[in-house]
Amino acid sequence: MKSIVKRYHATVVYWKDDTRFYVRVIIPCS
């Protein structure tokens, strides 16, 4: 899951796993 194809999709998955990743993924995916 290194390359994030879908920004929102990946963000939701990470959010369910870890809230910290959710914020971290949003910044670079912006």
Q: What is the pLDDT of residues 1-30, one digit of tens each?
A: 455 555 555 555 555 555 555 555 555 544
How many angstroms separate the CA atoms of 28 and 21, rounded? 11
Task: Provide the pLDDT for residue 6.
Answer: 56
Q: Is the pTM of this model over 0.85?
A: no
pLDDT of residue 30: 47
**DSSP assignment of 1-30, as one string?**
--S-S-HHHHHHHHHHH-HHHHHHHHHHH-
- Give the pLDDT score at 16: 58
Q: What does the alpha-carbon distance between residue 14 and residue 1 come to, in Å, rounded to a whole number?
A: 10
Q: Is the separation of the CB atoms in 21 and 12 below 8 Å?
A: no
Can you give the pLDDT at residue 12? 57
